[in-house]
């Protein structure tokens, strides 16, 4: 189960994290979000030593979504060192998400 993050703990869990973080912005009425959630949970287990994975319910955290310019669901943001370094939004499927996260993880493994 992915850790649920909200406006109250976003800084602590994401911005201040020592590990890179994938943030999954989802909604309870978003079909693609719900379809991809099991896959996101698999990736969290697969990459647990490399990448922290958390989720944000966009319907409960509208201000946070506005501050981060999250306009479509699903949206996946990658944070490293407290800063957003990449994002994937809108028409996302399993293959696009796998490539997005895989490319980032590979770049982390190549970094000294």
Q: Which of 5, 23, 33, 88 is catalytic?
A: 33
Question: In the chain, where does DSSP find H-type helix?
Answer: 10, 31-46, 62-67, 94-110
What does the DSSP assignment read for 17-35? Answer: -SS-EEEEEE-TT-HHHHH
Would residue 30 show up in a list of annotated catalytic residues for this protein?
A: yes
Residue 104 burial (CB count, 10 A): 20
Q: Which of 2, 30, 37, 89 is catalytic?
A: 30
Cα–Cα dist 46/25, whole Å: 20
How would you list the strands of the sheet with 83-89, edge to edge? 3-4, 52-57, 21-26, 75-80, 83-89
Catalytic residues: 30, 33
């Amino acid at each position: 189960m992915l850790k649920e993050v909200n406006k109250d703990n976003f800084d602590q869990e994401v911005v201040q994290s020592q590990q890179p973080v994938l943030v999954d912005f989802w909604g309870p009425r978003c079909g693609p979000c719900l379809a991809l959630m099991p896959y996101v949970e698999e990736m969290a287990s697969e990459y647990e030593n490399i990448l922290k994975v958390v989720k944000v319910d966009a319907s409960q955290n509208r201000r946070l979504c506005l501050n981060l310019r999250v306009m479509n669901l699903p949206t996946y943001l990658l944070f490293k060192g407290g800063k957003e370094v990449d994002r994937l939004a809108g028409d996302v499927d399993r293959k696009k998400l796998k490539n997005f996260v895989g490319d980032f993880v590979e770049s982390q493994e190549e970094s000294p």
